[in-house]
């Protein structure tokens, strides 16, 4: 009996699908051809990915976390701020500088997310909108309003005898006269231009409508404790530029933690809920998926280690310009410098933002009925950031090198870690080394070296037992 009921349900479900499909087909069949063409274009664009916005991966990330851009709330009611920053990689994909340019793009994406917070705190916005409409008809005779724009209306001959309509016409003509260039005015005054040429000159302005929109914004502020929680890079097949996005988060608690970093109040950064070893936060580049994740990870992340310390992981990468050992060393060094600088930026960074947008458009109707359209748009965006400070207790937690999956050029990467206990230890080291040294022996040695004739690698360790230090 139960089997028969299930079979009946399946039949009803099939009939419902057929009915819905038939209804949809009927609707499409009755659809206006022009609307059907638009629908087909929409579906084609959707299939090609034309509707995907830049930074979509970051938007999907916050959606999955059930966050939104701007203010959010924890389960306990505490607020926090989410921002998405987006930038592009300026170097061509196959360039040797692609990896370095990717790092540049990630820095700009992080800065873009901070810009969002600064602008949310307060932006000075100025707006100017100007719309004009001018209409005048001429048969080609010499206009009687030439050179009247600078004259008061009452100075025009027989002004008092004119009707209200005629006076209004003169006032309008004065405004129209301002649109005619001086060269054309002189030619008309000297009779060196034919009536036909006059008419042709005037056609461009006899029926004209213009619109101008100008917006300027300014914002500035000091950001402390805005950390990355997600970063991603993507380039679709056929695209010429890579897009990088970054999700950043700010909260009162994060600001307090970075204040503790600045002031040296390290005790407040300890004895928190235990996390995991810092190495376990870093993607594993021994497999392809992990390596791709590592390539797309940039910026500073505040995490808790296995002892409950609030720590910082800072990711950076740099393209290796040649196959020499010196080039590789410089790439790692540059990456390390940028990673360490990012930790300083996490603590505090001064941001200044200025944007301007100018849009203009105009339509001009000629006497023959032809309408010309013209538009112009100028956008400018400037963001400046500065940070400074002393960094103690950081160390290299991971160093990696491989061929970049996009540029197919070598890339070097560094992950720098900072911990409160490391900073405390460096304070002790500094104190010890600031004391007067004890006299001891010295030695001199020198050696010549030649280039290697074959591949070789190896290594050993000594003195690394805990009893030795």
For the stretch 431-461, pLDDT in tens is 888 887 666 555 454 444 344 343 333 343 3
Which residue pairs from 64-70 have beta carbons closer than 8 angstroms and sit at least 24 positions apart in sequence? Answer: 69/116, 70/120
| Cβ-contact 248, 226 below 8 angstroms | yes
Which residues are within 8 A (CB) of 116 and not within 5 positions of it... i.e. 6 or more apart? 69, 83, 84, 85
Please tell me the predicted confidence (pLDDT) of residue 324: 92
Mean pLDDT for the stretch of residues 64-90: 91
Place of tokens 């001199």: 444
143 band by pLDDT with thresholds 50, 70 and 90: very low
Residue of higher predicted confidence among 441 and 370: 370
CA dihedral (234, 236, 237, 242) positive or negative: negative
Q: Over 70: is that where the pLDDT of 291 sits?
A: yes
* Share of residues in the chain with pLDDT > 90 (%): 23
Q: Over 90: is that where the pLDDT of 421 sits?
A: yes
Dist. CA 209–CA 364, nearest whole Å: 7
* Share of residues in the chain with pLDDT > 70 (%): 67
Q: Over 80: is that where the pLDDT of 351 sits?
A: no
Number of continuous H segments (helices) and E segments (strands) in the chain: 11, 12
Dist. CA 74–CA 65, nearest whole Å: 12
CB atoms within 10 A of CB 94: 10
- Average pLDDT of the chain? 76
Residue of higher predicted confidence among 273 and 145: 273
CA distances from residue 151 to 174, 209, 210, 270 in whole angstroms, order as listed: 9, 25, 25, 80
Mean pLDDT for the stretch of residues 14-29: 51
Mean pLDDT for the stretch of residues 125-153: 56
Please tell me the predicted confidence (pLDDT) of residue 89: 87
Dist. CA 28–CA 45, nearest whole Å: 19
Q: Over 70: is that where the pLDDT of 92 sits?
A: yes
Dist. CA 77–CA 71, nearest whole Å: 12
Mean pLDDT for the stretch of residues 183-194: 60
* Winning range, highest mean pLDDT, from 173-177, 372-376, 440-444: 372-376
| Cβ-contact 367, 196 below 8 angstroms | no
Least confident of 180-189, 294-303, 434-443: 180-189
Mean pLDDT for the stretch of residues 302-308: 92
Q: What is the CA radius of gyration of the chain?
A: 35
Mean pLDDT for the stretch of residues 418-439: 85
Please tell me the predicted confidence (pLDDT) of residue 134: 60
Please tell me the predicted confidence (pLDDT) of residue 12: 53
* Winning range, highest mean pLDDT, from 314-318, 371-375, 464-468: 314-318
Please tell me the predicted confidence (pLDDT) of residue 326: 92
Mean pLDDT for the stretch of residues 382-403: 87
Mean pLDDT for the stretch of residues 285-303: 89
Dist. CA 281–CA 230, nearest whole Å: 12
Please tell me the predicted confidence (pLDDT) of residue 447: 44
Dist. CA 117–CA 115, nearest whole Å: 5
416 band by pLDDT with thresholds 50, 70 and 90: very high
Q: Over 80: is that where the pLDDT of 6 sits?
A: no
Please tell me the predicted confidence (pLDDT) of residue 222: 83
Mean pLDDT for the stretch of residues 36-46: 81
Please tell me the predicted confidence (pLDDT) of residue 400: 94
Helix (H) or strand (E) holding 395: strand 394-403
Least confident of 67-81, 239-253, 327-341: 239-253
| Cβ-contact 109, 189 below 8 angstroms | no
Instruction: Give the DSSP letter string of 9-62.
Output: HHHHHHHHHHHHHHHHHHHHHHS-HHHHHHHHHHHHHHHHTTTPPTTHHHHHHH
Place of tokens 């004209």: 208
Q: Over 80: is that where the pLDDT of 124 sits?
A: no
46 band by pLDDT with thresholds 50, 70 and 90: confident
SS3 110: helix
Residue of higher predicted confidence among 131 and 170: 131
3-state helix, strand, coil in the chain (%, to 5): 40, 25, 35
| Cβ-contact 173, 136 below 8 angstroms | yes
Please tell me the predicted confidence (pLDDT) of residue 238: 60
């Amino acid at each position: 009996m139960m089997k028969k009921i299930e079979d009946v349900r399946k039949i009803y479900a099939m009939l419902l699908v057929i009915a819905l499909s038939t209804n949809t087909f009927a609707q499409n069949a009755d659809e206006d051809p022009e609307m059907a063409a638009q629908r087909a274009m929409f579906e084609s664009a959707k299939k090609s990915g034309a509707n995907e916005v830049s930074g979509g991966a970051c938007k999907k990330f916050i959606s999955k976390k059930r966050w939104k851009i701007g203010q959010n709330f924890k389960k306990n009611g505490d607020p926090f701020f989410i921002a998405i920053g987006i930038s592009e990689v300026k170097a061509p994909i196959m360039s040797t500088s692609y990896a370095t340019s990717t790092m540049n793009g990630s820095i700009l994406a992080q800065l873009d997310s901070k810009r969002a917070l600064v602008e949310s705190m307060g932006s000075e916005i100025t707006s100017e909108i100007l719309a004009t409409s001018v209409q005048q008809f001429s048969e080609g005779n010499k206009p009687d309003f030439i050179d009247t724009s600078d004259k008061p209306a009452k100075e025009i001959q027989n002004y008092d005898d004119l009707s209200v309509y005629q006076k209004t016409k003169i006032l309008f003509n004065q405004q129209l006269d301002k649109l005619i260039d001086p060269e054309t005015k002189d030619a008309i005054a000297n009779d060196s231009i034919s009536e036909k040429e006059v008419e042709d000159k005037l056609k461009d302005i006899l029926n004209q409508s213009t619109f101008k929109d100008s917006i300027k914004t300014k914002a500035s502020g000091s950001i402390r404790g805005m950390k990355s929680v997600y970063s991603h890079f993507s380039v679709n097949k056929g695209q010429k530029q890579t897009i990088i996005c970054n999700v950043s988060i700010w909260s009162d608690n994060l600001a307090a933690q970075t204040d503790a970093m600045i002031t040296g109040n390290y005790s407040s950064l300890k004895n928190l809920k235990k996390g995991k070893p810092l190495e376990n936060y870093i993607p594993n580049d021994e497999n392809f998926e992990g390596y791709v994740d590592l390539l797309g990870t940039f910026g500073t992340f505040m995490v808790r280690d296995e002892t409950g310390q609030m720590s910082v992981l800072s990711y950076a990468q740099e393209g290796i310009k040649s196959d020499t050992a010196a080039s590789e060393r410089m790439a790692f060094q540059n990456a390390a410098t940028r990673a360490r600088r990012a930790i300083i930026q996490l603590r505090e960074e001064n941001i200044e933002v200025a944007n301007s947008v100018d849009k203009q458009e105009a339509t001009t109707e000629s006497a023959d009925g032809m309408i010309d359209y013209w538009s112009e748009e100028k956008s400018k965006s400037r963001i400046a950031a500065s940070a400074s400070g002393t960094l103690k207790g950081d160390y290299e937690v991971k160093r990696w090198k491989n061929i970049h999956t996009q540029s197919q050029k070598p890339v070097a990467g560094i992950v720098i870690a900072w911990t409160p206990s490391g900073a405390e230890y460096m304070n002790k080291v500094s104190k010890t080394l600031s004391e007067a040294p004890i006299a001891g022996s010295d030695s001199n040695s020198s050696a010549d070296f030649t280039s290697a004739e074959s591949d070789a690698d190896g290594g050993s360790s000594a003195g690394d037992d805990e009893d030795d230090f």
